[in-house]
Structure 1
Amino acid sequence: MNKYAFQLAFAYMGVIIGGGFASGQEVLQFFTGYGLASIGGTLLAGFLFAFLGRQIAEMSTQLQAESHKHVLLTLFGRRAGQAMDFLLTFFLFGVGIAMLAATGSLFEQQFGLSPALGGLFMTLLTVGTLCLNVRRIINLVSAATPFLLCMVLIITAYSLFTSNANMDELLMLASEQETVAPHWALGALLYASFNIAVGFPMLAVISGRNTDRKTTTLGGIIGGVGLGVLIMLINIALLFNLNQLQGAELPTLALAARVSPVAGILMSISIICMIYSTSVGMFFAFSARFAKPETGRFRIFSIASGFIGLGLSLVGFTKLVGTVYPLLGYLGLLLIAAIGVNWYRIRGRSTQAAATQSGT
């Protein structure tokens, strides 16, 4: 199998996963709260991630996109595309800041250290990575994903074998969970819309740097399927252990700690790695919008934006998430709609061309 396709897939997954996904809190609210119907939600989300990943990768490779702007202009046209570019670039920076704030919160909660120290640690790690060449950035962002996948497999297997509640009790507890939408399918769509807006810029840039469309589209599909599998595994683990997770801020961390103290520490490291992947992805795509990667200007812009972000991250993770993430979800819905329309048009042209050719 193509090595670059898997690197692209893991980078796509790593940017989207972030701290909320890895901690289990997002999965709990977007999927698990719907009970057994959440299985259908995970399948729908996985399909959307695979379809959207394929389309974005293919378009970016065709355009040889140097930033997400090129793809947006193709999808939305000049004026609307410029507006979307401005909004998405702004929100990229906002999500990057949220990742710095998330590290600060984790350092405070897990280690009793100052949030500013956690934010500084992630800022230095992020800007240091951005000063490397693009290939090494892709390698580093994608490296953490297999580690998380192994941890989730272990946690899921353990949680299924050690679950001590009957299904009726678990489904009752699931119905009491706070969910983001009145129906599981809408919850899955909202989850995909928010996260594709997060993953789109990085996926566009790394796909645009490769000329082999077959490789990049394969990477987009593998990454989307991988995200669906991860969501399903985390969802199953949470659903079968809801009776032991009441009030847990970091559900997957709580499950890992039940396996062993070592597993708990490894899961904490895994969550930090996922925050790191998303942070690098956001600041990379943000900087790539204003400067060509691997240039002195790009590195200076990355360092400046990183430390400005550090200052703004002191507002706090919860406040940032409550402000930035819902608005980004609406932007993601527009992006999904535009990608769907573009796919339909291309498919229609291909069908028409095939019919014309067969008639001659």
Structure 2
Amino acid sequence: MNKEIVLIFQVAAVFIGTIVGAGLASGQEISQFFTQYGYKSFIGILICCIVYIVMSIIIISISKKYKLNSYDGLISLVSPGFLGILTNSLTTFFLIGGSAIILAGSGALIHQYFGVSRWIGIIFMIFIAMITLFRDTKGLLEINSVIVPSLILVIVTLFILYLAFYKNLNISSLKNINCCKQSWLFSSLMYSGFNMLSCSGVLVPLSLSINKRKSLIAGSIIGSLILTILVFIINFMLILNIPYIFKYEIPLLYIANRFGKILEIVLLAIIWLEMFSTEVSNIYSVGKNFEEVFNIPYKRSIIIIILITIPVSQIGFVKLISFLYPAFGLVSLIFIVQCIVFYLRNYNK
């Protein structure tokens, strides 16, 4: 029983760690997809939670039934034809592109705060990522079992400090805070859509590696609930600091710096760890995909992917990614609908 409970929380940690990333941990993603929509963003966060739970159950169930090994198998099954090829290509593109951006970001972060060469940060990230990835699924479970609890501890600590020192806190006043945009529902669905399509790259191989379907589903549900609480907390703090948070690349740092340098440094460390966690998840997902599609051994796939990301990380990929985000989001929403339809038609046959 104890081993099963540990497994459930390891799966929950992997789920959270895969979705969180540096964008969420810094508050940047939350401000873009939720905070700017005002108090209705909390409804959007709840919708994301529902999508995460429903889609996790569907992806795990389909993967288990058809013994799938990577997101390529899932996409080919539920979305055959041109749309499936497009979805698969975009997913691979984003996961590799995201890995390249994280490498560049790691180098920039180390350079900015320690004044050393960017390549030291890049090489350090590659080195520990390879050690983790060569341990396959075990490595993925192990690193997230450490990083995710640390993230939760830091965010909750920041929230408690904020509540303790924030004067004249009135929850009803949230309705009166001016919001910048109105299309909160579409933003929430878009966000949950591309998160779940990216997360399928981890959930599918996990379903093959871990025999216990109930533990997988329980872990993904717990992960979805904890993630929702974290996003609620971050969004709450950010909304109370509108419009100032929109001026910062790391909005949570604006909130943390009022509580001293130590908390600020700890938050930066957590952001770096979440960059690392996402890097490992992305490369793991594509590695499993290459193993299935091209019949390349997993460890060799990892080396190939890393060799691709190193030069790509140096060519200003961020703008290209931002242009293709809407396309990826739209494709992911279509993919979610296709998964649901496929599940309802085929699972009980």
What is the TM-score of this pair, normalised by structure 1? 0.86
Q: State the SS of the aligned residue for 1:43.
A: helix
Cα offset, 1:80, TM superposition? 4.6
Q: Deviations over 1:222-265 (max 9, x none)?
A: 22222211111110111123365351210112222222211111
Q: Deviations over 1:67-101 (max 9, x none)?
A: 12222222123665444333322322122112212
Partner of 2:193: 193
Aligned-partner residue type, residue 194 of structure 2: F
Task: Choose from 92, 99, 111 the match for 1:89.
Answer: 92
CA distance in 2, matches of 1:221, 1:169: 32
Aligned-partner residue type, residue 25 of structure 2: A
What residue ranges of structure 1 are gaps of 5+ in the alignment?
351-360
Cα offset, 1:276, TM superposition? 0.7
CA distance in 2, matches of 1:288, 1:54: 20
Q: Deviations over 1:269-305 (max 9, x none)?
A: 111111111100111111111227xx99322321232
Partner of 1:257: 257
CA distance in 2, matches of 1:41, 1:79: 31
Q: Tell which deviates more after alignment, 77-86 or 234-243.
A: 77-86
Partner of 2:66: 63
Q: Tell which deviates more after alignment, 16-25 or 164-173.
A: 164-173
Cα offset, 1:330, TM superposition? 2.3
What residue ranges of structure 2 are gaps of 5+ in the alignment?
none
Q: Deviations over 1:90-118 (max 9, x none)?
A: 32212211221222332344344444433
Q: Is 1:49 matched up with 2:52?
A: yes
Matches within 5 A, 1:120-269: 120-164=123-167, 174-176=178-180, 182-242=182-242, 245=245, 247-269=247-269
Partner of 2:309: 309
CA distance in 2, matches of 1:317, 1:161: 41
Partner of 1:357: none
Q: Deviations over 1:206-235 (max 9, x none)?
A: 122122221111122222222211111110
Give yes or no for contact 1:34–1:175 (8 Å, CA) kept in 2.
Answer: yes
CA distance in 2, matches of 1:229, 1:170: 18
Q: Are the structure 2 counterparts of residues 87 and 184 from structure 1 closer, same or farther at C-alpha, using a change threshold of 3 Å?
A: closer
Q: Is 1:118 matched up with 2:130?
A: no
CA distance in 2, matches of 1:120, 1:171: 47
Aligned-partner residue type, residue 36 of structure 1: Y
Q: State the SS of the aligned residue for 2:108.
A: helix
Give yes or no for contact 2:35–2:235 (8 Å, CA) kept in 1.
Answer: yes
Partner of 1:344: 344
Partner of 1:271: 271
Cα offset, 1:140, TM superposition? 1.2
Cα offset, 1:317, TM superposition? 5.9
What is the TM-score of this pair, normalised by structure 2? 0.88
Task: Choose from 18, 28, 46 the match for 2:21.
Answer: 18
Give yes or no for contact 1:160–1:237 (8 Å, CA) kept in 2.
Answer: no
Task: Choose from 26, 31, 38 the match for 1:28.
Answer: 31
Give yes or no for contact 2:39–2:174 (8 Å, CA) kept in 1.
Answer: no
Give yes or no for contact 1:46–1:228 (8 Å, CA) kept in 2.
Answer: yes
Aligned-partner residue type, residue 210 of structure 2: N
Q: Deviations over 1:131-182 (max 9, x none)?
A: 2242133211342111111111111222233234776987676524xx5xx3
Partner of 1:353: none
Aligned-partner residue type, residue 100 of structure 2: I
CA distance in 2, matches of 1:306, 1:61: 29
Partner of 1:100: 103
Give the aligned length: 343
Q: Deviations over 1:37-72 (max 9, x none)?
A: 111111111111121122112222222322122222
Aligned-partner residue type, residue 279 of structure 1: E
Q: State the SS of the aligned residue for 1:234.
A: helix
Q: Is 1:332 matched up with 2:332?
A: yes
Identity of aligned residues (%): 27
Give yes or no for contact 1:165–1:240 (8 Å, CA) kept in 2.
Answer: no
Q: State the SS of the aligned residue for 1:77.
A: coil
Partner of 1:4: 7
Aligned-partner residue type, residue 145 of structure 1: V
